[in-house]
Structure 1
Amino acid sequence: MSEVGRIAVIGDRDFCAPFKILGLSVLTPGNPDEARALLAQVVEEKYAICLIQETWLEVLKPEVAELSYRFAPVCVGFSDFRASSESVENLMKELSIKAIGSDALFTRGRKENETR
């Protein structure tokens, strides 16, 4: 992948290993301190995007909030079948509001025929 558009994935080794096939850099922390160090490495190495598995998203919440004021890396959480996705949804809402000024793309809790 080109130097400009590099993507990192921070998450559990067993779940994130397949991302390597797509050319993404997979970083697998063993504890919260390692997760923080790996996120700092992502910033230092100027990755464009950092995907963070939900199990590590809560641990990295203060660091991700601080990075939200920077252009890059864009940190996006993702969930898997083993966890709920509420924290990922909240992060995506925040990114949506920042990008387009609205969270209209998210409909959780709305009735099927309710308008936005």
Structure 2
Amino acid sequence: MLCGAVGFSYKFEIYTDDENNTKYRKPEEHDLGSSANIVLRLCRNVPHHQNYKVYFDNFYASIPLAVHLAKCGLLCLGTMRRLRISNSKLPSDKEMAKKKRETS
């Protein structure tokens, strides 16, 4: 769902398990995977290079998506899943659970 700053919904997509179908992608759009492609489709009408910010949760976040949005002039913020970062040096969830809360 694409919402404005006050929460008004401008656009949404209902999950159909067909999100990565090429018929929904414009010829100039890259294939970044089904979840990232949803973000790209929802952001088609967001003005580029005007300091608009896109926020999304960890289901949609990926490094290629962030890079692509940056090239389009859209700022973004999202929580990144450790498994979506190639060659990640971050400790596993099990290792983090063993550490004290204030451990960095």
Question: Shorter-chain TM-score category?
Answer: 0.3 to 0.5
Higher helix share: 1
Higher-RCO chain (CA-CA 8 Å, sequence separation at least 6): 1
TM-score calculated relative to the size of structure 1: 0.36
